[in-house]
């Protein structure tokens, strides 16, 4: 009976070590990526905002399945959720067919040169477009 308890204890220790190593690998993977934070100005319509959000959510899902960069998948998903604020703005203001927006973008580059880039924040709407033409967004608040 004591022998079984010792084996069970050793098995639990071994499993804990494996889980810890997997966690550490995820931490080292994050350290091995070069992070760049940029701001990108885009002119987009409702449909384009939808596809930006959808493509980014799908990227997060793909990375989540890999299991080694769950932290990155969560970061990408958070950015996708923030893009929805601008999408909601377009829904709430159908008089505007386009918006000019400054979007915070994050780019990770791994040691092999692979780039993962995504919108990382809500952004700032600078101009809106309607039948009357372009207007500064601040005059519409």
Residue ranges of the domains in the chain?
Answer: 1-31, 34-140
d(CA 15, CA 113): 34
Per-residue pLDDT, averaged over 39-57, amounts to 95
Specify whether the CB–CB gap between 95 and 130 falls below 8 A.
Answer: yes
Name the pTM for this structure.
0.70
pLDDT in tens, 78-116: 999 999 999 899 999 999 999 999 999 999 998 888 899
Question: From the centroid of its chain, how far is CA 23?
Answer: 20
Give the mean pLDDT of 7-29.
69
| pLDDT above 90: residue 2 | no
Q: What is the DSSP letter of 121?
A: S
Q: Give the pLDDT score at 25.
A: 52
- CA 98: distance to chain centroid? 23
Query: What is the per-residue pLDDT for 110?
Result: 83
């Amino acid at each position: 009976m004591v022998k079984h308890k010792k084996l069970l204890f050793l098995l639990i220790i071994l499993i804990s070590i494996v889980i810890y190593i997997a966690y550490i690998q995820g931490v080292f993977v994050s350290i091995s990526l070069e992070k760049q934070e940029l701001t990108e100005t885009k002119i987009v319509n409702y449909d384009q905002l939808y596809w930006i959000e959808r493509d980014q959510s799908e990227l997060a899902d793909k990375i989540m399945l890999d299991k080694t960069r769950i932290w990155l998948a969560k970061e990408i998903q958070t950015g996708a959720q923030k893009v929805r604020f601008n999408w909601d703005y377009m829904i709430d203001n159908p008089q505007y067919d386009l918006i000019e927006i400054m979007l915070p973008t994050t780019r990770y580059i791994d040691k092999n040169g692979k780039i993962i880039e995504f919108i990382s924040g809500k952004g700032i709407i600078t101009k809106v477009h309607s039948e009357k033409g372009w207007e500064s967004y601040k005059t519409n608040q």
